[in-house]
Amino acid sequence: MTPDTPHASNEDTSEALDAFWSALESSPFLMLGLPAQVAHSMPMTAQFDGRHGPIWFYGSRKSRLAEGLSSTNDAMAQYVGEGHKLFACIAGMLTIDNDPAIIDKFWSNAVEAWYDQGKADPDLVMFRFDPSHIEIWQADMSLMGKLKMAFGGTMSPKDLEGKHVETAL
């Protein structure tokens, strides 16, 4: 299957989703933005518990994400896996949900370093991202593709042995 194959099998979709969640677990960094803002996305550290729930982010009340939520809740998150072998774009809804139980659940020394007053910091917001749709590209270059890149050859879709899936979450 080439990266521009329009419809993947259920097995391909399941494998791509597993690869995405595994990659996100090992490197939980997403670029998060609000398309209606026409502003750059921001790097955020994802907090999540399982593969079928919301993704949480600690943030700032003064951030463009928090300020932009008054006009829209549509959000997009982009992911680039380690080694550039997996890419994903996730659409969903972003809201502020300062549930103390959720703030406590994911709290750590690394998070606390960002907030002078800890969990009571007035700038602290908890963003809840409910993903609805994902598109995943898995790049796996063939030996011929690697040789072409190393020696200046012209690449073609058959030089990639990756997968491309698009699915609702």
Between 6 and 125, the more confident residue is: 125
Half-sphere exposure of 63 (CA within 13 A, CB side): 22
- Looking at residue 143, its pLDDT comes to 60
Cα–Cα dist 64/151, whole Å? 44
| pLDDT of res. 54 | 97
Q: What is the distance between the alpha carbons of residues 116 and 132, in angstroms, rounded to a whole number?
A: 34
110 CB-contact burial (10 Å; exposed 0-12 / middle 13-18 / buried 19+):
exposed
Q: Which of 1-15, 16-30, 79-93 has the lowest mean pLDDT?
A: 1-15
Identify the H or E element spanning 17. Answer: helix 10-26
The whole-number average pLDDT for the span 16-38 is: 95
Q: What is the pTM of this model?
A: 0.84
Assign domain 10-168 to its CATH architecture: Roll (2.30)
Chain segment 55-83, per-residue pLDDT in tens: 999 999 999 999 998 766 999 999 999 98
Tokens for 155, please give them.
């690449």
Cα 121 to the center of its chain, rounded Å:
26
